[in-house]
Amino acid sequence: MGWYKSKEVSAIALQAKEALADGRRVFVCRLNKGTFEARESGSLPAVAELIETVEALGWALDKLDFDQVDTAASAFLLFRRARPSAFGQPNG
């Protein structure tokens, strides 16, 4: 494991690695507001970092959704095992 900008990304990366080792075919995680600094518009670097980190482990992002109830916002990310390409590398 490497060093990541946020503790949340590090914790989720560890969980994704464990899910892969356990033979899971699907990995779902949630980021809460504050982790990804929800704004009206603009970049979400923590979400991008999370996607890049989890995909580097062998998962492929399948679905991403955001939900907000009052002032609580969350991002839900569903990953599936990456399928090897013709060159032996995960598709990404």
- Report pLDDT digits (tens) over 25-72: 999 999 887 665 555 677 778 788 899 999 999 999 999 998 888 877
pTM attached to this predicted model: 0.77
Distance (Å, whole) CA 8 – CA 20:
18
Domains of the chain: 7-81 (3.30.110)
* Sheet (strand 59-69) strand order: 26-32, 72-81, 59-69
